[in-house]
């Protein structure tokens, strides 16, 4: 999510200090991929995106689905999958889009040449849920909203982090809903659906989210 962290002044010595357990640890100021997020900066960026701090609204600087694409990339880093989610050591970590693709080329640019958990990231697009074989993060487009209940039912028990921005997505059994409220992105996470998929979401993400259980009243 580095394109959310552009700086307004020089970094000095071509390096930027990274917040981590070691205050002296440093990362390069420039990255191979201009969209690549710096490790350790995810939580502040999430807080900025969801509007918990920062005077500027998200819409002033970024397009909505550019930011949502960056969230998908970061979810790949802050979620743990069970070993059986990867049939072989060479199996890539797949970010999928089901239905109409609202991201254009931005999602491909973000994951280009990236490696997470020693696995290459790839993007796949599906027209129908039956086409989904190996997938780890799945964005279910609003264009598939009329079939959302059937889609989620067919994915039940699979190790797939389902993400969407359809009304009621988390309440209906999706794992993470990306909500746009007053030009800011907020997260709603169905923790029961997360456990059913045998996934573990980082506490850093959970602390920045509205966490509900399956069948909860929140939308």
* Predicted local distance difference test score (pLDDT) of residue 91: 97
Q: Assign 149 to helix, strand or coil.
A: helix
* Predicted local distance difference test score (pLDDT) of residue 62: 61
CATH architecture classification, 14-212: 3-Layer(aba) Sandwich (3.40)
Q: At 37, phi and psi to the nearest 5?
A: -75, 150
| Mean pLDDT, the chain, integer | 77
Which of 61-65, 184-188, 192-196, 208-212 is least confident?
Answer: 61-65
d(CA 51, CA 74): 17
First to last CA, the chain: 26
Q: At 150, phi and psi to the nearest 5?
A: -65, -40
- What is the per-residue pLDDT across 186-197, written as a single tens digit (0 to 9) for each? 999 999 999 999
- What is the per-residue pLDDT across 104-158, written as a single tens digit (0 to 9) for each? 999 999 999 999 999 999 999 999 999 999 999 999 999 998 999 999 999 999 9
Every domain of the chain and the residues it spans: 14-212
Residue 19 has pLDDT above 80, yes or no: no
d(CA 132, CA 148): 15
């Amino acid at each position: 999510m580095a394109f959310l962290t552009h700086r307004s002044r020089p970094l000095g010595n071509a390096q930027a200090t990274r917040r981590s357990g070691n205050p002296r640890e440093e990362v390069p100021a420039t990255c191979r991929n201009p969209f690549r997020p710096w490790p350790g900066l995810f939580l502040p960026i999430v807080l900025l995106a969801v509007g918990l701090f920062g005077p500027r609204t998200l819409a002033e600087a970024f397009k909505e689905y550019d930011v949502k694409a960056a969230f998908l990339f970061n979810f790949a880093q802050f979620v743990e999958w069970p070993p059986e989610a990867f049939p072989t050591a060479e199996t890539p970590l797949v970010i999928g889009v089901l239905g109409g693709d609202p991201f254009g080329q931005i999602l491909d640019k973000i994951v280009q040449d990236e490696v997470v958990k020693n696995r290459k990231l790839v993007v796949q697009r599906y027209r129908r849920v039956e086409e989904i074989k190996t997938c780890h993060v799945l964005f279910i487009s609003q264009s598939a909203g009329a079939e959302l209940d059937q889609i989620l039912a067919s994915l039940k028990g699979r190790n797939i982090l389902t993400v969407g921005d359809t009304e009621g997505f988390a309440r209906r059994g999706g794992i993470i809903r990306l909500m746009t409220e007053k030009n800011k992105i907020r997260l709603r996470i169905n923790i029961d659906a997360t456990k059913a998929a045998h996934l573990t979401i980082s506490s850093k993400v959970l602390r920045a989210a509205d966490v509900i259980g399956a069948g909860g009243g929140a939308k």
